[in-house]
A and B are shown apart, each in its own frame.
Chain A
Amino acid sequence: MPNTTYILLIVFLPLAAFAILGLFGRKHFNQSSGLIATSLLLVSAALAFYTAYGYFFQYGKTGGIYQKIIVFKYTWLSFSPGMSIDMGVLLDPITAMMLVVVPFISLMVHIYSLSYLKGETRFATYYAFLGLFTFSMLGLVLSSNIFQMYFFWELVGVSSFLLIGFYYDKPSAVAACKKAFIVTRFADLGFLIGILVLSFYANSFDFVTIINRLAEPNAPEAQAAVAASFMGVSALSWGVALVFIGGAGKSAMFPLHIWLPDAMEGPTPVSALIHAATMVVAGVFLVARLYHVFSMAHPVLHTVGYIGAFSALFAAVIACTQTDIKRVLAYSTMSQIGFMMFALGVSGASLGQNETGFTAGMFHLFTHAMFKALLFLGAGAVIHYIHSNEMKDMGGLRKHLPITHATFLIACLAIAGIPPFAGFFSKEEILLAAFEHNKLIFYVAILTSALTAFYMFRLYFKIFWNKEAHLHGEHHGEGGFAMMMPLVVLALAACSAGFIPFGNFVTADGKPMPTELHLTFSIAPVALALLAIVTAAWLYKNETGKSAKLAASLNGFYKAAYHKFYIDEIYVFITQKIIFNLIGRPAAWFDKNVVDGMVNATADGTGLLSEKIKGLQSGKVQQYGIYFLAGVIGLAVLFIYLWK
């Protein structure tokens, strides 16, 4: 294996961009900061692709199996032999895959933002934050140690917080970034406890060691973790379930999804990078990283599957009713992540069958990153043109925005699962895995898949067809080369990514698996998707009253879905009515009356004491002497006679 220390550069170049732009950018080179960040990232991305290429084609395989390779390791803090927090780089198929996804999408977003945020006064700050995010996300996927991952996990959260709140003079953006931070922090608490539980039983923080010790049924550590139980559930299950809570928070799984739609307050390219393609799939990545440990705890893995499937359907239904185009995309993201999650959940590890679900989930993560980033960037171009997020202000834009229109259509076809676009291949694999292992999830999935096609084409027709565009005043063109180039590149990726024989590269056990197309199996899903598209076209292609009538006939359900099934209101009710009243108020009372009372009493006491000895300055030292002597005698009596 060749010298690979350059891998560190992949991570540190974006950090350098953050440091340089964060420290000097705004004052000294605000306008050129975008170019600086982009060129640094270009180098980083090139190195990342080279690493992924090297791993997949040169040194990754030993005896036909992809190995987990520790490229670099630096012990940062060691608690006891075995238990240490390391900063390291772990290469395995999913890391190498993320090394393609993260820098690629980040690069596209960097380029796109050059034009999209042109003229923004805090241009350098924006790029500094993007650099921080890219650094943290790359650190997260390369982590060789679970604590290191937690560290970057929090950093990713921080940079997401900063970017959601980028327009900090907008109250809604401030509220959204706070919401995202609080909800994910809450979930991260679960992750942290999960880390402690798992590493306690594995006696290590190192991923490879944890997996070796806990995923091997005969290992003493695994047996101890299975034998120990709390409230009737084994410690191992508790550990992975808590870790999954952290992943669910980051990946917006029901019921921790409420922050994601609000996070769309950030600049649109940020939504494309963080809240569609990379950060939100960190939860999926985490489950995949610990997949073998999860598969030791079947009930938890099944729960992951059901939560994923439910989130997918739930979000798809809401997406059909939203009118803000970014929110539609946000719910669609949540729905697609649900697909990835249940693909992992149904991968059938427990039954000893081939783990097609794992490969399918990762495949979908890969393709989804391409077409969802494309959708967001396309939506950004539309918003840039129209200056509104609302569907009612759009319509008939296909002639005004030809490139955006073409690329957006490709992305819609991809996400709807129409061959030969990328989404078709990954989604068929997921459906197949679900069909083989869990029929209930399969039916939910196929329904969701049809809904996906429906709401995506509702979006498409509403933006680009529906009515004639009536635009007011002067309009600049479609956006510069910097905005169009990423769209075209991503569209090419969305067309071609599906043809990658993914099973050759990414599998649960590292052994290449032949990729098969099951043409007969695919007929039903594709037919359903086409039907959904036709329905969407019938309802939305021209401005008719049909859609309103449909909504009226489904009144109650439509309203509930439009209001996101009132989940936010339930949270508000629980926090404000129950937690504040039952915990907050009594705690405040305790603080005010008991703690303050004690402090005041102490202060009064000292005040009284100083009052009494005021004017006796010379006497004070003598008093100190008396206290001293009293202390000595008191301790002597206590320890010689009373407390032996």
Chain B
Amino acid sequence: MNDFLILMKPELAVTVIIFLLLFIKLGKGMSNGNMLLLIQGLLLLNFALGFVLLDEGSLFGGLYKTSLLMAFQKNLLNLGVFLISLLFADWFKKSEHLPEYFMLMLSALLGMFFLISSGNLLMFYLSLELASIPVAAMANFDLHKKISSEAAMKMILSSAFSSGILLFGISLVYGATGTISFDELPAVINGGGLQVMAFIFLFAAFAFKLSIVPFHFWTADVYQGSPAPTAAFLSVISKGAFAFIFLTALYKVFQPLHATWYNLIMVLAVVTMLVGNLFALRQQQIRRFLAFSSIAQVGFILVALLSNSPSGTTAIVYFVLIYIFSNLAAFAVAGTIESQTGKTTVNDYKGLYQSNPFLCWMMALALFSLAGVPPTAGFFGKLFLITAGAEQASYLFVIVVALNLVISLYYYLRIVRAMFMDKNEHPLPVMTVQFPVKLGLILCAAGIVLTGLISWIYDYIQLLS
């Protein structure tokens, strides 16, 4: 019993919060502002709890497994959700269905926690659906906007399609090996044709969730159409969770297929970076721009996957931490501007520095970190991703990766230039940044600056990996 309480503590805590919200909703006695404050408090508390009472082990006959690293990963995602609850306070306070929205978001988070801890393909599938379906509902929450319903529709259809392929893949795995347990699979996989096919079906499901090219088509539409917090959740929290379970799947379960997936990942890493970069280059819509930039960032995560060693795990977890700070800050600034002025294109951002220096600096810092400019943490994140990948990859590949870094630098700086240097006859009006948003942005900025400089964060992750 004690095992159960301690090992499943993250999931249990999130479940408790969900039910608490449900009861509050039934009571109908709370204003949006107070409710948001409560949610923020609970999430912060949960984040703090995530550092104590940790243990490793497995439950339910291996269906559920956890380790210190997994607990840390879950806590990172929880931190991300906490930041979202701060950064998009503007939108939340206006929302008519705040508790529902958070119930959905926390359900998805719960799904991701189970996903990270799953020890069996069945468990994996169930938690994957728990992590996806609520997000599609969240995409629909700009209730009066058609584009939002469209985004939700596209997302649910595409993800149903990908689930179909995944289920097909799982059946093939069972057919080819006779087991679906993560512990038993490595022993029975021998690289036969059917197994490779099953693996590729499974892989497609991961690729879909991570927006790896050519499974990325839904990304830009959904990011553009859904409410800002949903888009942020999808691009950061969801990407992080799937990257973590991808690590387990490749490094442990499908280790015998290393020769196959190594080539697969290498090819797709290059394609994903290139497509993400090239499409981001001339994007005018900020949201679509961020969508393609996040596709390119996933390409860089794939580079580190190649290392097939703990250094790859370390680099990816570290990168996701930094990515949470940087990308959430970028989405938050875009979201604030959108909710207050309705402006969404790069041209509208021209001359932002004249009217809104605070937002402008935050955006610039976030973009610098995404571009990997030292001394922001993004630089260290990219550095470790690439050095991890370089352990195993050829020089040519590393050069291609470096070239992609240069391209990405160009389009991130394009936005910075528009904000600081370009003149605008009618710059955006002076915006009021609410306290929670300001606090969230400052936390992100601190994260962007300090995560790189404080070396024990990296050392700690390295210790866990």
A639 at the interface (CB under 8 A from B): yes
Across-interface contacts of B215 in A (CB, < 8 A): 627-628, 631
Q: Number of A-B pairs whose CB atoms are under 8 Å?
A: 75
B278 at the interface (CB under 8 A from A): yes
Chain B: number of interface residues, binned into ranges: 20 to 34
B204 at the interface (CB under 8 A from A): yes
**Contact present for A630 and B260 (CB under 8 Å):** no
**Contact present for B459 and A78 (CB under 8 Å):** yes
Residue total for A at the interface (Cβ-Cβ under 8 A): 28
**Contact present for B153 and A621 (CB under 8 Å):** yes
**A630–B158 alpha-carbon span in the complex (Å):** 14
B45 at the interface (CB under 8 A from A): no
B162 at the interface (CB under 8 A from A): yes
A603 at the interface (CB under 8 A from B): yes
Closest to A631 in B: B214
A70 at the interface (CB under 8 A from B): no
Across-interface contacts of A599 in B (CB, < 8 A): 278, 281-282
**Contact present for B158 and A632 (CB under 8 Å):** no
Across-interface contacts of B158 in A (CB, < 8 A): 621, 624-625, 628
**A639–B200 alpha-carbon span in the complex (Å):** 9
**Contact present for B279 and A606 (CB under 8 Å):** yes
B218 at the interface (CB under 8 A from A): yes
Taking CB atoms and an 8 Å cut-off, the chain B residues in 436-465 that contact chain A are 455, 458-459
**Contact present for B264 and A78 (CB under 8 Å):** no
Q: Which of A75, A599, A623, A636 has the most CB of B within 10 A?
A: A636
**Minimum distance in angstroms from B223 CB to a CB of chain A:** 14
A57 at the interface (CB under 8 A from B): no
**Contact present for A636 and B200 (CB under 8 Å):** yes
**A111–B113 alpha-carbon span in the complex (Å):** 62
A499 at the interface (CB under 8 A from B): no
**Minimum distance in angstroms from B416 CB to a CB of chain A:** 19
Across-interface contacts of A627 in B (CB, < 8 A): 214-215, 217
Taking CB atoms and an 8 Å cut-off, the chain B residues in 329-360 that contact chain A are none
**Contact present for A628 and B263 (CB under 8 Å):** no
Across-interface contacts of A602 in B (CB, < 8 A): 278-279, 281
A603's partner among B201, B264, B282 (CB-CB below 8 A) is B282
Across-interface contacts of B203 in A (CB, < 8 A): 635
Given known contacts A599-B278, A599-B281, is B459 in contact with A632 (CB within 8 Å)?
no
A628's partner among B161, B282, B455, B458 (CB-CB below 8 A) is B161
**A629–B282 alpha-carbon span in the complex (Å):** 28
**A254–B162 alpha-carbon span in the complex (Å):** 66
**A625–B278 alpha-carbon span in the complex (Å):** 23
Mask: chain A, 424-464; 1 = CB below 8 Å from B; 0 = not: 00000000000000000000000000000000000000000
User: In terms of DSSP, what is the predominant structure of the interface of chain B?
Assistant: helix
Across-interface contacts of A76 in B (CB, < 8 A): 455
Mask: chain B, 197-240; 1 = CB below 8 Å from A; 0 = not: 10011011001100000110110010000000000000000000
B154 at the interface (CB under 8 A from A): yes
Closest to A151 in B: B375
Taking CB atoms and an 8 Å cut-off, the chain A residues in 50-89 that contact chain B are 75-78
**Minimum distance in angstroms from B267 CB to a CB of chain A:** 8
A643 at the interface (CB under 8 A from B): yes
Taking CB atoms and an 8 Å cut-off, the chain B residues in 114-158 that contact chain A are 150, 153-154, 157-158
**Minimum distance in angstroms from B225 CB to a CB of chain A:** 11
**A629–B205 alpha-carbon span in the complex (Å):** 11
Across-interface contacts of B279 in A (CB, < 8 A): 602, 606
Across-interface contacts of A629 in B (CB, < 8 A): 165
Q: Which of B200, B263, B264 has the most CB of A within 10 A?
A: B200
Across-interface contacts of A624 in B (CB, < 8 A): 154, 158, 161, 217-218
**Minimum distance in angstroms from B403 CB to a CB of chain A:** 11
**Contact present for A640 and B197 (CB under 8 Å):** yes
Given known contacts A624-B217, A628-B165, A630-B214, is B200 in contact with A77 (CB within 8 Å)?
no
**Minimum distance in angstroms from B381 CB to a CB of chain A:** 13
Across-interface contacts of A603 in B (CB, < 8 A): 281-282
Mask: chain B, 157-198; 1 = CB below 8 Å from A; 0 = not: 110011001000000000000000000000000000100110
**Contact present for B162 and A628 (CB under 8 Å):** yes
**A285–B60 alpha-carbon span in the complex (Å):** 66
Mask: chain A, 608-644; 1 = CB below 8 Å from B; 0 = not: 0000000001001101110111111011100110011
Closest to B191 in A: A644
**A76–B282 alpha-carbon span in the complex (Å):** 39
Across-interface contacts of B201 in A (CB, < 8 A): 632, 636
Given known contacts A606-B279, A621-B153, A628-B162, is B214 in contact with A75 (CB within 8 Å)?
no
**Contact present for B196 and A640 (CB under 8 Å):** yes
Across-interface contacts of A644 in B (CB, < 8 A): 260
Mask: chain A, 474-507; 1 = CB below 8 Å from B; 0 = not: 0000000000000000000000000000000000
B157's partner among A77, A598, A621, A639 (CB-CB below 8 A) is A621
**Contact present for A621 and B214 (CB under 8 Å):** no
Taking beta carbons and an 8 Å cutoff, which residues of A are in contact with B? Answer: 75-78, 598-599, 602-603, 606, 617, 620-621, 623-625, 627-632, 634-636, 639-640, 643-644
A to B CB contacts below 8 Å, 28 in the list = A76-B455, A78-B455, A599-B278, A599-B282, A602-B278, A620-B154, A621-B154, A621-B158, A624-B158, A624-B218, A625-B157, A627-B214, A627-B217, A628-B161, A628-B214, A629-B165, A630-B214, A631-B214, A631-B215, A632-B200, A632-B201, A634-B214, A635-B203, A635-B264, A636-B196, A636-B201, A639-B264, A640-B197
Known pairs A599-B282, A628-B214 / 10 extra A-B pairs, C-beta < 8 Å: A75-B455, A78-B455, A599-B278, A602-B278, A624-B158, A624-B217, A625-B157, A628-B165, A630-B214, A635-B264
Report, nearest first, the 4 A-B pairs whose CB atoms are least far apart.
A631-B214, A624-B217, A632-B204, A636-B200
